[in-house]
């Protein structure tokens, strides 16, 4: 039976609001699992009433630093950052520093992987595959870069490596949160003030830059959703 994933397009929102929302959704699911364990008759994972969700959002400009990231990868001081209207948060996902902002589709899956597959490597590769398949519809070859999570163009050609989608997740009791940030029409100047993902000497790009035209955000959202259903073998409702 296909798993049902509740989709929510949140529009444009401040980062902290959506982070708190994710935390609450994750806690609701982990509380269900904790209660089942404490009951002494823990039912099989597929029978638990945990709820899968997929959130899409565009954020106001913000830098987020993962739990293993380095403050030194932010190349402007607080006063300069505030002057540019960019928020800044240390958060509880993996990965280093990244940017979220208008023109970028950020996807936050809150999934119970015990109902899919309990393998974080599989989960990350699956998220990458959703983006790779979406890019192929625009004639672009998205690829993986060995040892670097996310989706790239020309990752094996030195000097031409360009990251188009960053990823970072948290997982608790096999419930996921955080996710991917896909540059569609993103203003790439924001990346000039950080070391994106802590990776030196590599570029960041967007669909708009690669194709030379602005891409309708709703069009890209629909393609991402189509391939999310295909790759994860689920239904979006």
What is the end-to-end Cα distance of the chain in Å, rounded? 15
Four-point Cα dihedral 228, 182, 150, 83, nearest 10: -150
Residue pair 124/117 in contact by the 8 Å Cβ criterion: no
Which of the pair, 68 or 112, is modelled with greater confidence?
A: 112
pLDDT tens digits, one per residue of 153-178: 999 999 999 999 999 999 999 999 99
CATH topology for 3-236 is BirA Bifunctional Protein; domain 2 (3.30.930)
pLDDT attached to residue 197? 66
Residue 199 pLDDT grade (very low, low, confident, very high; cuts 50, 70, 90): low
85-99, 103-117, 191-205: least confident range: 191-205
The DSSP symbol for 74 reads B
Map out the domains of the chain as residue ranges. 3-236
pLDDT attached to residue 7? 98
- Mean predicted lDDT score pLDDT of the chain: 94
Residue pair 97/192 in contact by the 8 Å Cβ criterion: no
Set 165, 171, 197, 234: catalytic member: 197
- Catalytic residue status for 165: no
pLDDT tens digits, one per residue of 50-88: 999 999 999 999 999 988 788 888 899 999 999 999 999
Name the region of 147 (left: φ>0; alpha: ψ -120 to 50; beta: rest). left
H or E element that contains 37: helix 15-38
* pTM (2 d.p.): 0.95
Q: What angle do CA 117, 170, 206 make, to 5 degrees?
A: 95
pLDDT tens digits, one per residue of 15-38: 999 999 999 999 999 999 999 988
Pairing between strand 143-145 and 104-110? Answer: unpaired
């Amino acid at each position: 039976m296909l798993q049902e994933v509740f989709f929510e397009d949140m529009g444009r929102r401040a980062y902290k609001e959506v982070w708190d929302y994710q935390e609450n959704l994750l806690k609701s699911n982990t509380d269900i699992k904790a209660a089942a364990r404490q009951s002494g008759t823990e039912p099989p994972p597929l029978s638990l009433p945990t709820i899968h969700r997929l959130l899409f959002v565009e954020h106001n400009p913000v830098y987020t630093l993962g739990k293993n990231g380095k403050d030194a990868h932010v190349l402007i001081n607080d006063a300069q950052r505030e002057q540019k209207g960019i928020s800044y948060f240390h958060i509880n996902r993996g990965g280093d520093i990244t940017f979220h902002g208008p023109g970028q589709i950020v996807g936050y899956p809150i999934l119970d992987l015990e109902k899919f597959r309990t393998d974080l490597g599989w989960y990350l590769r699956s998220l990458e595959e959703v983006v790779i398949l979406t890019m192929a519809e625009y004639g672009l070859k998205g690829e993986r870069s060995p040892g670097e999570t996310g989706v790239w163009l020309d990752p094996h050609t030195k000097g031409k490596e360009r990251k188009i989608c960053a990823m970072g997740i948290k997982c608790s009791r096999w419930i996921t949160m955080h996710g991917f940030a896909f540059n569609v029409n993103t203003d790439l100047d924001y990346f000039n003030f950080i070391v994106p993902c802590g990776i030196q000497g590599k570029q960041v790009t967007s669909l708009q830059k690669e194709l030379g035209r602005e891409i309708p955000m709703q069009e890209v959202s629909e393609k991402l959703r189509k391939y999310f259903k295909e790759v994860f073998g689920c239904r979006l409702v």
